[in-house]
Amino acid sequence: MLVLFTPLTLRSVTLPNRIAVSPMCQYSARDGLPNDWHLVHLGSRAVGGAGLVIAEATAVDPAGRISPEDTGLWSAEHRDAWRPIAGFIAAQGSVPGIQLAHAGRKASTYSPFTGSGGVADADGGWTPVGPTTEPFVAAYREPVALDEAGIADIVAEFAQSARWAVEAGFQVIEVHAAHGYLLHEFLSPLSNTRTDAYGGSAEGRLRFALEVVAAVRAAVEVPVFVRISASDWTEGGLTVDDSVEIARALAAAGADLIDVSSGGNVPHASIETGPGYQVPFAEAVRRKADVPTAAVGEITEARQAEQIVADGAADLVLLGRELLRDPYWPLRAATELGARTPVPAQYRRVQY
């Protein structure tokens, strides 16, 4: 029996299939506000049949943006700007989700469209924060090390942004704790050399992420995902065995699914890519931590995606670049696999 096009229920939300749009930064917002680009970009993937459409890394605070062009959700104005986007996604039969994020020491950088390195204050940048004062690379801005009060403020911001997200119509909240952004910076021994309660031991490094997830879980009733980097791909960094323990703790704090990616925390990592190269990480976390997972990374073929879910390596597959190439990939995949899935009435004259 085909599994890719079967529903997945998490808490009170049911995804119509196991295909999700991975959150992908568009670097197209102004003052954090999404616009027509985001409506069309995300909406077209919902029309294309993805069961879950996750909006890009969206900052819980202005200083948490990767670039000045990132989206945000730090005010009621931002909530209201997201409403029509979430509403359109839901109207197509897809579930709208959003990834909440803080870029940490990788904040205040130029978007890929505009340059590279850190953005100066005079050009619209700001001072980033991190676990220490060490920048990601020399070309980035030097961060201020967060104190415990600053950490508590960011925990509260994640919770408030989650509330606004639900008010905007999002039905899944993902906490970004991967790719070298703030929560990953605290998780990894490569970037967290603190000796206080938020550093030192593995338990100390995990504390910030657990507090965020617990706060988000207390703030909303919808499913909460957490994206992690299962491996730092660098000696002395996080390994998949570490991430199994991290995932187990995150689930205990209220996470319903772990979105398993990798890398991003140090510039010199040697990452061995290839088709489905991160799927073994998702499978290890799923089986050893006994928590639902999503697999992501060079998943491009319908039968490949079906096999991942059918084999129990993951409960959900997230596609990024492949859905940029073809927003209607899910409809094509259904045809290729011989599955039945709804097609918009306006497109039924077309054979996918």
- In degrees rounded to 5, what are phi and psi of residue 51? -70, -30
Q: 210's torsion region: left (phi>0), alpha (psi -120 to 50) or beta?
A: alpha
Contact between 333 and 309 under an 8 Å Cβ cutoff? The reply is: no
**How far is residue 42 CA from its own chain's centroid?**
15
* Contacts of 283 by beta carbon, 8 Å cutoff, 6+ apart: 293, 295, 311, 312, 313, 314
The catalytic residue among 27, 110, 181, 328 is 181
* Contacts of 235 by beta carbon, 8 Å cutoff, 6+ apart: none
Angle in degrees, CA 68, 89, 333, rounded to 5:
105
> Alpha-carbon torsion 253, 254, 260, 262, what sign?
negative
DSSP three-state, residue 96: strand
**Could you tell me which of 67, 59, 53, 44 has the C-alpha nearest to residue 15?**
53
Map tokens 């998949």 to a residue: 240
* Contacts of 236 by beta carbon, 8 Å cutoff, 6+ apart: 189, 190
Contact between 126 and 180 under an 8 Å Cβ cutoff? The reply is: no
352/348 Cα distance (integer angstroms): 9
Q: What is the DSSP-derived secondary structure letter of residue 16?
A: S
130/182 Cα distance (integer angstroms): 6
Decide if 181 is catalytic: yes
DSSP three-state, residue 76: helix
Catalytic residues: 181
